[in-house]
Every structure is written in C-alpha cells, then in structure tokens.
C-alpha cells in the first residue's frame, strides 16, 4: 500500500523562527528544525502567518529549501488583526479549516502547535480535537543541551480535552448547528424527537458503529440517514459517497448480486463483473432501508462485511474489501423477527448498538406547523414564487391536521404531498379556504380504506377492576371508563389516546397536556397506562 504523504500545518514563529545573518543557524528555530530530521521527510508545509511578516516568511521558506529541498511550501496569510483574541483567532482558523481541501486517503496531517501565540495553539488544538483539522497534533522542542545544528525532537501527541473545559464550550454552538442541520433547520417542538436528534448528532461525529433507525413508513428514516451522511462528510469523517437501497426491492439471487457484486459468468445473465453497492459505498455511508426484508443468507454475508470489512462477490473465490459505515432502517420490530427466526440474532446485535425509533407524525402533532412552514418554503424556493396560506385557511387546515380525523397514515410523506398539492393549486401564491376544504376531502378519501379500530365495546372492566371496586362503581362511571379504555386500547401511546379523548377541549388550553389529563383520570380508578397496556 502506498504510504501517505506527510503534510505539516503550522504558523511561522515570529520570535522562535526569526534570525538574521549566519548566526540564525546557531539557534533552534522550530519550523526550520522540523525539516532537518533525517529519519522523517515532510512532503508539504502549509505555512500560516498573520500581520506584516512577509520578510520573515520568505527567509524561513528559503532556509527550509536549503535543508529540505524536497519539501513543498505553501504560504497562506490569515487576516487576523489580533492573534491574542480568542474569538477572532478561532473564527479565522475555523474558516481556514472549512475551506481547506483535506485528502485523508493520500495525505497524513500533522498540526504544529509549538509556534504561534498561546491562543493560536489552543484554537488549533481545539479544531484538531473536533476533526475540523483531521490529523494529529505535533509538538517540537530543542535538545536539553543545545548543540549547533541539532534539530531537537518532535512528538505526535494526544491531549486531554477536559483540561480546556471552558474553551471547549465554544463548540456548543457547532453542536447546535449540527443538530439544526439534521433537522434541516426545522424548529421542531416534540421533546422526544429533539432529544433523539441531539444524541444522533453526537453519535454521528464520534462513532463509526452502525445506526439502526426504526419507525413507520414515511417517518423520515431515509431523509435523516442522508443528513447524517452530509454532517459526517462536512466534519471529514467520510470521504466516500452516500449509497441507498430499499431491501424490499431485492429478491432471490439478485439481492446478493446487488449488495455484494458478482463476477462474470457467476450465473445466467452475468455478462460482466459487477462491483455491488457495498464496494460503491467504500469510505462512505451505506443506507439499507427495510433491512428486515433481507434473506438469511444475505444477512450472514452482511454481518461479515460489517465486522471484517471484507466479503465474497457472488461466484468469486477471492475476497474484496470495503470500509463503509452502515445505517439500517426498518418498520418492523426486529426483536420479534429474531424470535420468529426471520432475522439473524448476531446481525441484530451488531446493528443495534445505536438504535433510534422515529415517532410517527400523529405522535409529533406539535411539529406539524413548523413542518408546514418548511415545506412551503421549500416549494417556494423550487418554484421561484412565494406561497402562503390565508389566515382562515391556515387555521382550518391546522385544526384538521392535529385532530383525530387526520390519521396521517403515510406520515410526513402524506403531509408533504398535501402541502405540495395546495401550493400548486394556490392562485397568486395564496392558499384559500376553498383549496383547504378540497384538500381535506381528498385526504379523507385517501385514508378511508384504513378503517379505524372499533373501540365502541371498550374493555371488560372485570379484567382490570376487583369485584368490590365494580360494585361501588356507578353505571355512568362504568360506561365512561369502559369507553375510555377502549380508546386507549386502540391507541399507540398515552399521548395519542389523550389527543383523541380531549380533541375539543385541548384547543382552549395554552399548554395542553393530554397525557397528564388521561393519567390523572385513570388514577381515580387506581389504574395506570403502563400496567394496562405495556405489560
């Protein structure tokens, strides 16, 4: 394997690297001395400076050419007026790192922190720890008993970020930006979803392990996987591309060929070699949606590819390699699939290290409104025309969108399609009450085939209450409780049940807490949601 080129990134030392006349060779100058180590050759030096130090940069460059003519030097001037100002230095170096083209496949980066002000050194350290500089820290020092011509020593080091807790807080804004990026800038309000995205942002930056995204069709698994890839790519965690496949579209022998590739003549119709999607995702991210649809043989091959980064193409006796990162999506309960023998237990354990369940749209009704704004903005940008609701039309659509009538069977796909239809039909960029009325009828028609679970019979109270409790229950309370429990039984969560039961009164509360209201109602009968529906 071809060795990587060594690239050093560092500031010229306005004091340490200075010197005039032949006497300059008698002192230890860290940037020049680094190039004098016989056992190590720097292929390129990215020499940074600020202020008016062109003469010093020119002198240092000439001296490096004299001792190490093989080293290429690229000089960059950074426009910082005060190299002791943390905010200015960090901002300037951050912009440099974001615009620098890092080729981590062919180059190894050493970040020289011996020169520059202490503020410069700390900021370069922080950016390296955060992988904006995807390399290692380099520290140089003179020999204890300085000898003319002795280059001293150098060390590649790892520093403890905890030593700089206060400065590390500067990264909180970058993390917030990463979270906002994963949400596409949508100001989501659902606490469960926001907490999940916060963790996914940290995992995406720090971990190479597989991620499992669970949730119903249309909940946004594919969209989130693509955003995770883009975030990792921006932080230099990946160099390859995003490869996506829905496993439900692959069947029989074609599944293995699609994923792992095949050699010419492997089967009838294999007229040429095919690399397969795993190799296409090398150094990148592979998103396998509906992974529960894979056959057991393909699951075994995938497990080997994940753990050992190697596998056999169909019909080949020679292994190939691919270093990809995996995100898997599913709308199935894979633990049940394992119990029923349809999914390998070892593969499930391997991809279940980081697992997240994306809530459905009906479980995130508070996020309907910000998503409507996002979708309208997206449509307006694509069509080059601003589209808005009339006030009455928006209020009517919102009342319907968060009501029990709106089942959102296709989740965010249904919402996206609905907004697209109304925006397309909007005259002069205004969505009117008439357009909303027609759209509500259209949605109801689309969903009429999904019959709701009949909850009219409720639950037999004798199964949840003791005989003496039933004897003391008025007929009115008994009938009401039976109906309430029936709604609960047909709901996905206590919040879902609460929204159905309090659909009218919740509109008059500033902060409706349907789950808490239902919890208190059940408690009057010594009942709880967890005991009734989660056991």
- 3-state SS assignment for residue 44: strand
Of 437, 416, 426, nearest in space to 389 by CA: 426
Calculate mean pLDDT across residues 74-94. 93
Provide the 3-class DSSP secondary structure of residue 3: coil
Nearest to 255 by CA among 212, 224, 288: 288
Tokens representing residue 299 in the block: 């699951």
Mean pLDDT of 318-330: 94
**345 contact partners, CB below 8 Å, separation of at least 6:** 338
pLDDT for residue 324 = 95
Q: pLDDT digit string (tens) for 174-216?
A: 666 777 777 766 778 888 888 888 899 889 888 999 999 999 8
Mean pLDDT in residue range 297-301:
92
Give the up-direction half-sphere exposure of residue 155: CA atoms within 13 A in the CB hemisphere: 7
Q: At 171, is the secondary structure helix, strand, or coil?
A: helix
HEC string of 99-144 equals: HCCCCCCCEEEEEECCCCCHHHHHHHHHHHHCCCCCCEEEEEECCC
Give CA separation, 386 vs 116, 201, 491, in Å.
50, 32, 38
Handedness of CA 215, 216, 220, 225 (dihedral sign): positive
In whole angstroms, what is the distance from residue 262 CA to residue 260 CA?
7
CA 509 to chain centroid, in Å, comes to 35
Percent pLDDT > 70 in the chain is 93
- 272 versus 161: the higher-pLDDT residue is 272
Residue 454 has pLDDT above 90, yes or no: no
Look at the block and give the residue holding tokens 């020092």. Answer: 141
DSSP string, 188-241: ---HHHHHHHHHHHHHHHH--S-EEEE--TTSSHHHHHHHHHHHHHHTTS--S-
Q: What percent of the chain has pLDDT over 90?
A: 50
pLDDT of 299: 93
Residue 163: per-residue pLDDT: 46
pLDDT at 164: 47
**C-alpha torsion sign, points 252, 253, 258, 259:** positive
pLDDT higher than threshold 60 for residue 54:
yes
* pLDDT for the residue 185: 67
H helix runs in 332-474, sequence order: 334-339, 345-351, 368-383, 391-401, 412-425, 433-447, 467-471
């Amino acid at each position: 394997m071809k060795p990587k080129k060594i690239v050093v990134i560092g500031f010229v030392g306005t004091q340490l690297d200075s010197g005039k006349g032949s006497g300059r060779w008698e002192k230890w100058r860290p940037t020049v001395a680094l190039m004098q180590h016989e056992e190590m050759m720097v292929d390129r030096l990215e020499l940074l400076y600020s202020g008016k130090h062109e003469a010093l940069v020119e002198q240092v460059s000439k001296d490096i050419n004299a001792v190490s003519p093989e080293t290429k030097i690229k000089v960059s001037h950074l426009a910082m007026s005060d190299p002791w100002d943390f905010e200015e230095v960090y901002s300037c170096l951050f912009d440099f790192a974001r615009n620098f083209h890092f080729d981590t496949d062919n180059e190894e980066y050493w970040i020289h922190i011996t020169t520059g002000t202490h503020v410069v050194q700390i900021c370069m350290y922080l950016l390296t720890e955060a992988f904006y500089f995807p390399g290692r820290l380099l520290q140089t020092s003179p020999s204890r008993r300085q000898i003319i011509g002795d280059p001293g020593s150098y060390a590649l080091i790892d520093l403890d970020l905890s030593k700089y807790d206060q400065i590390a807080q500067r990264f909180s804004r970058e993390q917030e930006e990463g979270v906002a990026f994963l949400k596409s800038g949508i100001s989501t309000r659902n606490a469960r979803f926001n907490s999940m995205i916060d963790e996914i942002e940290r995992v995406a930056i720090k971990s190479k392990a597989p991620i499992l995204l669970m949730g119903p069709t249309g909940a946004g698994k594919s969209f989130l996987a693509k955003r995770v890839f883009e975030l990792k790519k921006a932080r230099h965690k990946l160099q390859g591309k995003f490869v996506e496949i829905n496993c439900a579209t692959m069947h029989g022998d074609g599944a293995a060929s699609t994923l792992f590739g095949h050699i010419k003549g492997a089967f009838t119709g294999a007229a040429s070699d095919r690399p397969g999607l795993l190799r296409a995702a090398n150094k990148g991210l592979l998103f396998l949606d509906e992974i529960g649809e894979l056959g057991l043989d393909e699951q075994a091959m995938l497990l080997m590819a994940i753990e050992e980064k190697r596998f056999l193409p169909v019909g080949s006796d020679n292994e190939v390699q691919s270093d990809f990162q995996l995100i898997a999506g599913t709308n199935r309960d894979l633990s049940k699939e394992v119990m029923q023998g349809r999914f390998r237990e070892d593969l499930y354990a391997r991809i279940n290290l980081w697992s997240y369940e994306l809530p459905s749209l009906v479980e995130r009704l508070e996020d309907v409104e910000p998503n409507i704004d996002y979708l309208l903005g997206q449509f307006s940008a694509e069509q080059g025309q601003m589209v808005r609701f009339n006030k009455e039309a928006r209020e009517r659509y919102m009342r319907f969108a968060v009501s029990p009538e709106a089942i959102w069977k296709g989740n965010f796909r249904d919402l996206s399609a609905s907004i697209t239809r109304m925006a397309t039909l909007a005259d002069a960029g205004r969505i009117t009450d008439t357009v909303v009325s027609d759209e509500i009828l259209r949605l109801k028609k689309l969903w009429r085939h999904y019959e709701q679970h009949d909850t009219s019979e409720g639950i037999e109270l004798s199964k949840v209450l003791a005989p003496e409790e039933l004897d003391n229950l008025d007929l009115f309370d008994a009938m009401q409780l039976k109906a309430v429990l029936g709604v609960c039984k047909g709901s996905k969560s206590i919040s879902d049940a609460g929204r159905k039961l309090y659909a009218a009164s919740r509109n008059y509360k500033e902060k409706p807490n349907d789950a808490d209201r239902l919890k208190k109602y059940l408690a009057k009968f010594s009942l709880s949601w967890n005991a009734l529906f989660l056991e």
